[in-house]
A and B are shown apart, each in its own frame.
Chain A
Amino acid sequence: MTKRDLTHLVVDLSYSVERAGGRCVFMGAVALPVWGRPRGTTEAEVLLLLPPTKFEAFCEVLAGIEVMTTPKDLREAYAERSYVTLLDQRGPFHVDGKFARSPAELSLVASAKRIELPEGTFYVTAVEETIALKLSYGGGQDLEDVRGILATSGDEIDPARIGPILAKLGVAQAYHRLAEENAIREAHAVQTRRKGEE
């Protein structure tokens, strides 16, 4: 049997959540290649908007696409606000799911960006939220990820939207430092190109 690649896993999973009456939004390793530079990882994170009454139906749909979890695991993750592993039995990727319950998580779902591929559609966190979350994690690789997003999708960031999001997570200063660094790098690149043309 052919192994399932990341594109098909994301699309299949999104379709399954919607069939069970919910919505899901991918973060981390799936959102990153949309806005910046991809990371070599087999793990993805997804926010699930799905009421407990739909857990049995969701597990049945997941079984149909050979992704494994149980209603018990879903209920525990929902109650404890922790992660549940959605294990792909047809490929090396797996997804950690978390239920969107807090106002901040529900806002991530509401502002998500819809991505339409020939294989199907799915949602990822908007560019502004993706940056703010990365900065709030604050690791060296996370800052590299933000540099990649600024270089790739800088023009798509809405300055009016990102301000309050950064302020809420207390990462405005870190963002402005990286944005400034990116602006200097871009100015240097323009200068070098001009010199080359002269």
Chain B
Amino acid sequence: MEESEARRLKRLRDTQLDAAKTVEERFWMMNSLSLFAVSVREAVRR
């Protein structure tokens, strides 16, 4: 089956991200996940 455009771009970007991911970028992503986790836990407790 032909690869969709979005999937092709995603694959390209994942490859680029893996190669170029800096400590700062990884920190930003983990921080984003942590902030999300804190706010959803608070929302569930309310």
Contacts and interface: CB of A to CB of B under 8 A. Distances in A.
The listed residue with most B CB atoms (<10 A of its CB), out of A85, A116, A118, is A85
Interface in A125-164: 152-153, 156
Chain B interface size band reads 20 to 34
A33 B44 CA distance: 11
A83 to B, nearest CB: 9
B33 interface: yes
A116 B41 CA distance: 11
Majority secondary structure of chain B interface residues (helix, strand, loop or mixed): helix
A31 to B, nearest CB: 9
B20 to A, nearest CB: 11
Interface in B1-23: 4-7, 9-10, 13, 17
Contacts of B37: 33, 37-38
Contact of A33 (B9, B17, B36): B36
13 contacts: A5-B36, A6-B32, A7-B35, A7-B39, A68-B5, A70-B4, A87-B10, A92-B17, A92-B29, A93-B29, A113-B44, A116-B43, A153-B44
Interface of A: 3, 5-7, 10, 30, 33-35, 37-42, 68-70, 72-73, 76, 84-87, 92-94, 113, 115-118, 124, 152-153, 156
